[in-house]
Structure 1
């Protein structure tokens, strides 16, 4: 375990400032995380409505909603946490919430598919606000800041996912798209005001540092190329190899240049600290598992058996709202107190925590691989999956924060968040490919859905992703032990 750093606000040289209201600060942090995650997960139930209202030819056309949201999020995860380090927490939080507000306002006014795509890109960028509490809670709550910040992020993420799914189902049944975006605009505007009023206006954490423009734009470009491949690759076929190759080559070149840059986007020394790179990879894998689980569950649950030929019939025929309720145990598991977990992480047992989270997630997914044709099967699987992901995310974000002083809290959050965005896109792409391997027709329509057997395969693929978390953590520990032995000899 790396040495933890004393928060800058506690050093004798730091200027004194009024202590913020702890619970108000935690409240606005939770609001930012819940809102940003709800925005993402409110969209799946809305895709059929979007297709019908904007007269899109196929469901595939609606995938650009996810693509631009993901691309905007990739840029936001890279840039916003670093802006908080360099230009201050309140300024950056207000800017992020303003992006969410404008992003919701554009489709509310335009009420067209092009304006929806513009709005999703803006909301995707502002959605990186979910990482900002890791910085401003750590910088304002002293020694408990890391623990509280990670707990707020993890718990509010789980709540936001289910709130978004339930909200999407409610909207489909009761509101128009335009009404939804009007309500969302008001909610985001209120969050912007709450951020301005609640988050202290303090001097930037890194007063003498600047963000390298070239390095930042370069990183956004290669990450965007990879994310675009993962979100559109299934539709583009072999043509998707072009942006993938550009992204991988660009990323390798970027790392080499950043090592010698005086204004690096991410400090390479941070990534070399024990377990930091492994933690980021584990976060990506848990995000992939998370995405795979939700896509498999929501797709299977909403297929009506009566709509398929008797030989192909499967599904639960649940509404969007009832599908979200089946997922409620997933969010509930995120509310489990993590006192024992935090104690283990601060005592240097990060690898053990990762392995525990991976095995619990794998157990929940293995259960769903063999039992996924009854609602209660999902209630059990969701609860187990939620507990495993809660453990994994807590370990990942905590260990990355422990590796840096508080003035670089945003940098650490941005690195972890970027890996999370890539992992989520990877899990979605993997399961989308699986569910496209064999299709069966929907009676009376030109639509097709995945063959039933592909769902079990999808869950087993997710089990492999979960087990890779344990492999990654154990390899990292073995390498650290070898380095330590070499240093002693």
Structure 2
């Protein structure tokens, strides 16, 4: 049994405030009030609607391209703009929430999201549509602000459970968006991909005025220099990854942008460590336990997306390949739906696992489930039920892992840093996912049949093995490094 060096007692399991942070005070549990239920309902609904809206754009890209008269290369920047705007603004939104209170910043983010949704149906050019989508991308900031509100308002033993619920609903929303996109476009028109979520989010935004707010730090200033440097670095890194599929890993664009992004982020870190009020307090997150959680988040993103990105590809391949299913967009969406449902169920129990068996249990279990599901796909991807079973297992692993890493990060920083720390965890996971998606596609392309240029059965297996190997390495990383940090973080 591990002993807490501060008081000689065994460390407490699960989510709890870090005693090394003096600003964290335990909240008494007086039962779930109506105000708490309203808060959780609104935050979960906002996250679910944003996730549905975000993923519903993917199947609708050809329709949007025709509607605004854009070329294939131009319309691809719609999804890129959504990704970039979210990545650039995440840390700033989280920090603003920590300084000025999560509620007013959340309402502002929802307002910008609604503005983008209101503009999009009237877009008749790629420029207007791109502006609308960039505004919508800011909506990803809902999640770190929601976590900050939950941590501020709920008793400690409920925080992890609610974080898991929000993560699970986000995953379920992503699957549902892929499924309902075609129905909405076919029956109502593409404009309602934006109109329907707009109606719901306007109602949610109005009710958010009833939410509590978090503690203010009026004496703290926003580090705009750090925000610009971090934003530029992330833009360069993510742009370099978008060019991989068309120009290759060793192209001038990929290497140039990638190196520029790394240099800018190193400069950002140099500046942050010398500021009394940085955008991200790197001194607090450079502790081994916190870095382990961020590293695990990146690995989970890599393993999940390097495998999941392959499923729609292989399902859409012709049956003549021997493993393709010639599936429609609707069939692909239905096959992916178990991913979201399993993630929702697994996320809801992740916090209980950590409380019962130790802080890193959910993270390690999630990586193990990810590895198992991806290895299953490596040997069995020839039937529809293979895909359904595997996506459910991968979804469960993702739900456990993401919830575990997020709650670990939140519990190891001060409450005044919750929004920023959560945003940084989301950024690292998204970067890992972007790299993983490109690696999976690259492996698949490198084993393509020279005669048909289609992926081969062996290439699909290798790609899934690579994704599973990342999850196994993540497990080893957490077991070797994470458990050594329990005494520090308990």
TM-score by shorter chain over 0.5: yes
- Count of aligned pairs between the two proteins: 465
Q: Distance in 2 between matches of 1:99 and 1:93?
A: 10
Q: Distance in 2 between matches of 1:442 and 1:302?
A: 19
1:49-68 residue pairs with structure 2 within 5 A? Answer: 49-58=63-72, 60-68=73-81
Which of residues 424, 431, 441 is equivalent to 2:433? 424
Shift of residue 26 of structure 1?
A: 0.6
TM-score, length of structure 2 as denominator length: 0.86
Q: Distance in 2 between matches of 1:346 and 1:257?
A: 38
Which of residues 378, 384, 387 is equivalent to 1:375? 384
Question: What residue in structure 1 maps to residue 14 of structure 2?
Answer: none
Structure 1, unpaired ranges of 5+: 13-18, 485-489
Structure 1 residues 430 and 220: alpha-carbon distance in aligned structure 2, compared to 1, 3 A threshold = same
Q: Distance in 2 between matches of 1:207 and 1:9?
A: 20
Question: What residue in structure 1 maps to residue 118 of structure 2?
Answer: 105
Cα pair 1:9 1:139 within 8 Å, conserved = no
Residues 61-116 of structure 1, C-alpha deviations (whole Å, 9 max, x = no match): 54322211111110222111111111111111111111211222222112332222
Question: What residue in structure 1 maps to residue 342 of structure 2?
Answer: 333
Alignment of 1:414 with 2:423, yes or no, is yes
Structure 1 residues 461 and 44: alpha-carbon distance in aligned structure 2, compared to 1, 3 A threshold = farther
Question: What residue in structure 2 maps to residue 464 of structure 1?
Answer: 469
Cα pair 1:8 1:139 within 8 Å, conserved = no
- Tell me, what secondary structure is at the counterpart of 1:210? coil
Cα pair 1:66 1:231 within 8 Å, conserved = no
Question: What residue in structure 2 maps to residue 16 of structure 1?
Answer: none
Question: What residue in structure 1 maps to residue 42 of structure 2?
Answer: 28
Shift of residue 57 of structure 1?
A: 4.4
Alignment RMSD (CA, Å): 2.9
Residues 377-400 of structure 1, C-alpha deviations (whole Å, 9 max, x = no match): 011101111111111111100110
Shift of residue 343 of structure 1?
A: 4.4
- Tell me, what secondary structure is at the counterpart of 2:191? helix
Cα pair 1:84 1:204 within 8 Å, conserved = no
Alignment of 1:226 with 2:237, yes or no, is yes
TM-score, length of structure 1 as denominator length: 0.86
Cα pair 2:96 2:105 within 8 Å, conserved = yes
Which of residues 346, 355, 363 is equivalent to 2:364? 355
Which of residues 219, 222, 247 is equivalent to 1:211? 222
Shift of residue 166 of structure 1?
A: 1.4
- Tell me, what secondary structure is at the counterpart of 1:195? helix
Q: Distance in 2 between matches of 1:61 and 1:441?
A: 29
Question: What residue in structure 2 maps to residue 487 of structure 1?
Answer: none
Question: What residue in structure 2 maps to residue 263 of structure 1?
Answer: 277
Farther-moved stretch of structure 1 (346-355 vs 175-184): 346-355
Question: What residue in structure 2 maps to residue 455 of structure 1?
Answer: 460
Which of residues 186, 196, 199 is equivalent to 2:211? 199
Which of residues 90, 95, 104 is equivalent to 1:82? 95
Structure 1 residues 436 and 193: alpha-carbon distance in aligned structure 2, compared to 1, 3 A threshold = farther
Structure 1 residues 248 and 86: alpha-carbon distance in aligned structure 2, compared to 1, 3 A threshold = same
Question: What residue in structure 1 maps to residue 137 of structure 2?
Answer: 124
Shift of residue 286 of structure 1?
A: 1.2
Cα pair 1:42 1:168 within 8 Å, conserved = yes
Shift of residue 352 of structure 1?
A: 4.1
Cα pair 1:36 1:127 within 8 Å, conserved = yes
Cα pair 1:289 1:466 within 8 Å, conserved = yes
